[in-house]
Structure 1
């Protein structure tokens, strides 16, 4: 994820514009009211934000719809008293779940135009119990705080398993093999710590709450990879 961010140009975009997380949250008055008219109370919309780390969409039952003016003279749509980003909002239209921002003709990126009726696993899901835990956890709470908490819990699970499999492997090795394993693990720990510093330094330049779970996810992937390798 980290290298994809750098080489796809997101680093430059965020550092200069600082608005990647909120693609279509603060919009023009006419756009906000038109969006509100397309959302029906009592219906269901779907929230799906791949850049935020979402692996599956989340259903939201619409109880209340409001349009509010922001401090920047723009407007935002609120569903159930929570501001939404139209780029990550999908409504059912003509039997299809369509991206609301795209329906309004707004330019957004890194999101699909349509959602499938079937929830699918994340590309990085190996079928491992910790991957399954993370996917279910994030499906229950897709807020930035919720996703970050889920990733941190998954990180701890991978770290615990890494220690477990390391001890299991060590128990079946001869003295020379144990020495080699220890040296390799010590080198990996130095590599891990260096990668963590790199991640922190790069994400420090990013603006937007969406990068908090992404940063946690990059840290988790390093430990996950080692656990599956050892």
Structure 2
């Protein structure tokens, strides 16, 4: 009986970790277009990539040089991609989860997912950096 409880607790813990993974990595084409258009309209040049839900994930500030979206092969979804450079000038090119991409708005950093009104839990409130 005790082993079953331990196993159940372990499974619940593991499943909660996966609930937060990839919330807004694969999105609709409309969401992808809205996001890219928002970045271009607001002339957003810096983002912070940070998964507050993830253990030991550090905030990484990126100077954005390009934002676009691509379709997911054999799926009816799309993903936003960011190209840019980190503080050391190292180039970055990756698909992102909008729940964990943060932009500066009104003096604080906010999750792009929440700014865009997409359903997500970035596991953090807005923050200063």
Instruction: Give the alignment's TM-score, normalised by structure 2.
Output: 0.70
Partner of 2:105: 93
Partner of 1:47: 49
For 1:38 and 1:51, how far apart are their aligned partners in 2? 25
| Cα RMSD, aligned residues only | 2.7
For 1:98 and 1:67, how far apart are their aligned partners in 2? 21
Partner of 1:176: none
Higher strand share: 2
Alignment of 1:74 with 2:82, yes or no, is: no
- Structure 2 gaps of 5+ residues are 1-5, 84-92
Deviation at 1:96, TM superposition (A): 2.1
Partner of 2:37: 37
Partner of 1:26: 26
Deviation at 1:111, TM superposition (A): 1.6
Partner of 1:169: none
Tell me, yes or no, if the aligned pair for 1:42 and 1:61 is still in contact at 8 Å.
no
Cα deviation digits, residues 97-134 of structure 1 (max 9, x gap): 111111122222352131222xxxxxxxxxxxxxxxxx
Aligned residues between the structures: 110
For 2:105 and 2:11, how far apart are their aligned partners in 1? 32
Tell me, yes or no, if the aligned pair for 1:102 and 1:113 is still in contact at 8 Å.
no
Alignment of 1:102 with 2:118, yes or no, is: no
Higher helix share: 1
SS state at 1:108 partner: coil
Tell me, yes or no, if the aligned pair for 1:39 and 1:91 is still in contact at 8 Å.
no
Cα deviation digits, residues 21-67 of structure 1 (max 9, x gap): 21111011111111112224671100111233245411011011111
Instruction: Give the alignment's TM-score, normalised by structure 1.
Output: 0.42
Deviation at 1:84, TM superposition (A): 0.5
Say if 1:116 and 1:23 are closer, same or farther in 2 by CA, change over 3 A.
same
For 2:110 and 2:103, how far apart are their aligned partners in 1? 6
Deviation at 1:73, TM superposition (A): 1.1
- Structure 1 gaps of 5+ residues are 118-230
Runs of at least 4 residues off by over 4 Å: none
